[in-house]
Amino acid sequence: MTATVTRETSADRTRPVRRRGISGHLRQERRAGWLFVAPAVIVLVVFLFAPILMAAWVSLLDWNGQSSPFSGDAEFVGLDNYRGLLLDAGLLRSDFMLSVRNTIYYVLFNVTGVVVVSFALALAVNSHVLRGRSFFRTIFYFPAITSSVAISVLFLFLFQGAGVVNVVLSWVGVDGPSWFTDPRGVLHIVFSWFGVDAAPGALADTSLGGLSLWDWFSGPSVAMCALITLTIWASSGTFMLFFLVGLQDIPVELEEATAIDGAGAWQRFRHLTLPLMRRSIVLVVTLALISSWQVFDQVFILSQGAPAKTTLTPAYISYVRSFGDGQFGVGAAVAFVLFAIIIVLTLVQRWVGRERRT
Amino acid sequence: MMRQFARIPLPAATAVAAATLLAACGSGFDDDGDDAGSEATGATGGGSLTVMIGSSGEAETVAVQDAAARWAEESGTEVEVIPAQDLVQQLQQGFAGGNPPDVFYVSPDRFRMFAEAGSLYPYGDQIEDADDIYQPLRDAFTYEDELYCAPKDGGVHALVIDTEAWAAAGLTEADYPQNWDDLAAAAQALTTDGRVGLAFTGDYNPVGSFMLAGGGFFVNEEQTEVTADTPENLATLEYLKQNMDAGTFAFAPNIDAAWGGEALGSGKSAMTVEGAWIVGALQNDFPDRRWTAVPLPAGPGGQASTAFTNCWGIAADSENQTAAVELVNFLMSPEEQQTFAEAFGPIPSRSSLSDWNAETFPEKAAFAEGMENSRTQVAVPGFESVLADFNTQLEGMAAGTVTPEQALQTLQTNGEAALAQE
């Protein structure tokens, strides 16, 4: 508070006087500020910024992980790793493009799903009608504190060909697919209902990054849908808390006022709750977006990219190329391209969700 | 209050602290000194060794720990056995950090990467009675005409048969398939509603065994050329495809089984192609299944199969190489190999133990037969992604979206690109 006061009072003074003010009391405060943030800054520098710089260096090397990357043993190849990833036709680029396609669908469905589900959960546990609210809050948060490995293994059993999901589906007469082995894209399946089984000429012939447009428009595979379900279920509890905090910040007076004005439940939700929750929604979308692009553990445990590479993700490619093929430079390059994608998308999303003043 | 703080320029202090921490963290990187030459270092008696293993479970960990303890008592060198959670990753960390374990498991597909980088201490000339070890297993760990490490066990793919289904189909032991025509006929006889004749994991390993029997393989003998797109391999894939289309062969995932062992154990298939690891899995998960294992039927290229093995690698950076070699020779002795075989089921890598193995474990005999005609997995660095892509092509082949020609052409192109990066 003192700092604010100083700044406000000094604003009206002439410049030299203000400088003298800073040089005394304020400088000391600044120094104290630095001291207090120093532990966090040191941790960030040592465990975040330094490794990022090291990884950036590795991404410019042909390094097989058998020596120190800073000893000069590894050959410096400049941007070759990035070129192989983005430009040169080959296995690496086609794998990477497939993984980007898969992750785009994963992000799209996962972020949408998680926002809708966690918002609905938050509304439910915030409602005064519900009995035992704190019990349900705990229950819905449970998946978030369970290890993702345990959840993944559980889902593997649920989604087996003769697993629980398919048994339940068979009760309503649906013959479920063998989830984790079905490589068909859901959009392709939908197209085939309308008689479009093969790629129309234009889509088959035009390609982007070595992958035909028809393949880009495949939609998530059936296996990927199972993965998406898993992530939505596992992460909606955490995001429910974000929404719950937002909902509890909405003044009861406003709700009462709208109710007195005769607004129905839907109108109240649409014109009062949603606008006031915009900040929470932007936050959840941002966090879900970032974590979806980095999806790794479920893929590592459940599918290793199978079936037909439809659950391959950039993070998993980075791992396999590094530790499987001993191409750590390529792995690091994948990580940096992924980093760039996330930054760009987050900026776009921040811009779309920015506060507009009328 | 403020005046009580010492007047250190804070950004400077921060920088110093950060630099100190960084130096501490990075100390492992550059201190791999000159002591790690090709000459053996260290002497027996005293000192200590770290052994890192990729253990299949409690039985293996305990067996290796017990054996190491016996040797430690004899030699006076302390030995610590570490079962790795993820051997590949932990080894990489050790190498990159300059402090790898002294002794560790190395698989053939990683071997060349380690050997090329000079991470392994080549002690092939110090292995006692090395000629007794099966030739293909030694080949797997030979780089530039030098044997680097001792293969600790070995086994080949065999044809595992559900004997009850076999008898129910009116077949006898005399009908065990000798060639591919027999195999196709048997599979047809065994196929019923809800059960295919032969199912195996739809990846490059069993398909590679078929390729070998068909007279081809992914790479040539010296692993210097990709030999995927050949008439022999095409004939092999077409043989598989033909029988899959007939519904008598299948890849395990397509009949809702994770691998061949599960397909056979759960009764979804009557035959499968697997290695010796299926023995323990069937005993544990499907104890009621009656089965037998016979050598893979001969293809147009004769009888052949993929061999699976691991060796006892010794780090070039190890400070106690003499002791490490002594430990490995102890573990490689026929008596210790027998103890291991009894404890957790690996097949000894010494050919002098083949009769003992066949007598003691008749159910495992087929997994050791034909070791002389086998090949081990491809060792070219970067082939992991290439073969993973081939798995995808095989999936496509089973689904009918990829032809055998296309699968082999893609493999050829990708493989050549990986070899070119050498």
- Quick one: how far is CA A165 from the chain centroid? 26
pLDDT band at B216, cuts 50/70/90? very high
Which two three-digit tokens encode residue B304?
A: 């052949």
Are B382 and A162 a contacting pair at CB < 8 A?
no
Rounded CA separation B176/B297 (Å)? 9
Rounded CA separation A196/B292 (Å)? 48
Chain A residues near residue B88 by CB distance under 8 angstroms: 323-324
**Residue type for A193, please?**
W
Of the options 3.40.50.300, 3.40.30.10, 1.10.3720.10, 3.40.50.150, the CATH number for the domain spanning A91-185+220-352? 1.10.3720.10
Rounded CA separation A265/A263 (Å)? 7
Across the range B259-265, mean pLDDT stands at: 92
Nearest CA distance, A92 vs chain B (angstrom): 9
Sequence-ordered strand ranges (E) for A178-327: 207-208, 211-212
Question: In this complex, how many residue pairs, one in chain A and one in chain B, have their CB atoms less than 8 Å apart?
Answer: 112
B48-155+308-376: which CATH topology?
A: D-Maltodextrin-Binding Protein; domain 2 (3.40.190)
CB B272 within 8 A of CB B264: yes
Supply the pLDDT for residue B380: 87
Measured from the Cβ of residue A66, the count of other Cβ atoms closer than 10 Å reads 23
Q: Using a pLDDT cut of 90, give the percent of chain B over it.
A: 51
Nearest to A38 among B14, B392, B395 (CB): B14
pLDDT band at B25, cuts 50/70/90? very low
Q: Which residues contact B210 (CB under 8 A, 6 or more apart)?
A: B236, B239, B240, B273, B299
> Which is more confident, B40 or B149?
B149
Chain B residues near residue A161 by CB distance under 8 angstroms: 256
Measured from the Cβ of residue A19, the count of other Cβ atoms closer than 10 Å reads 12
Supply the pLDDT for residue A273: 86
Rounded CA separation B97/B31 (Å)? 9
**Residue type for A285, please?**
V
> Which is more confident, B224 or A21?
B224
Residue B45 near chain A (CB below 8 Å): no
Supply the pLDDT for residue B42: 42
**Residues paired with B161 in a beta bridge:** B271, B292
Which two three-digit tokens encode residue B73?
A: 């008592």
User: Which residue ranges make up each domain of chain B?
Assistant: 48-155+308-376, 158-295+382-420
Supply the pLDDT for residue A5: 42
Residue B10 near chain A (CB below 8 Å): yes
| Residue of A66, A164, A221, A320 for testing the chain B interface, max B β-carbons within 10 Å | A66
Supply the pLDDT for residue A20: 53
Are B2 and A34 a contacting pair at CB < 8 A?
no
> Which is more confident, B404 or A188?
B404
Residue B108's closest CA among B126, B120, B100?
B120
Nearest to A325 among B2, B22, B385 (CB): B385
Nearest to B114 among A66, A90, A324 (CB): A66
Rounded CA separation B336/A172 (Å)? 59
Residue A134 near chain B (CB below 8 Å): no
Supply the pLDDT for residue B46: 59
Supply the pLDDT for residue B164: 92
Q: What is the DSSP letter of B226?
A: B
Residue A95 near chain B (CB below 8 Å): yes
User: Which of A198-202, B95-99, B182-186 is predicted least confidently?
Assistant: A198-202
Are B384 and A325 a contacting pair at CB < 8 A?
yes
pLDDT digits (tens, 9 = 90+) for B46-74: 578 999 998 888 888 999 999 999 999 98
HSE-up (13 A, CA, CB side) for residue A69 = 24
Rounded CA separation B138/B132 (Å)? 10
Which two three-digit tokens encode residue A48?
A: 């975040």
Q: Using a pLDDT cut of 70, give the percent of chain B over it.
A: 89
Supply the pLDDT for residue B8: 45
CB A26 within 8 A of CB A6: yes
Supply the pLDDT for residue B297: 93
Q: Which residues contact A108 (CB under 8 A, 6 or more apart)?
A: none
Mean pLDDT (10-residue bins), chain A, 358 residues: 43 49 79 93 94 92 82 84 88 90 93 94 85 86 86 87 86 82 82 78 76 84 90 91 91 85 84 87 90 89 84 92 88 94 89 73
For chain B, counts of helices (H) and of strands (E): 18, 13
Rounded CA separation B106/B151 (Å)? 9
Rounded CA separation A127/B380 (Å)? 61
Residue A163 near chain B (CB below 8 Å): no
pLDDT digits (tens, 9 = 90+) for B305-324: 999 999 999 999 888 899 99
User: Which residue ranges make up each domain of chain A?
Assistant: 2-82, 91-185+220-352
Rounded CA separation B36/A71 (Å)? 15
Q: Quick check: do B48-155+308-376 and B158-295+382-420 share a fold? A: yes
B158-295+382-420: which CATH topology?
A: D-Maltodextrin-Binding Protein; domain 2 (3.40.190)
Say yes or no to pLDDT of B34 above 50: no
Q: Which residues contact B342 (CB under 8 A, 6 or more apart)?
A: B360
Least CA distance to A162: which residue of chain B?
B256
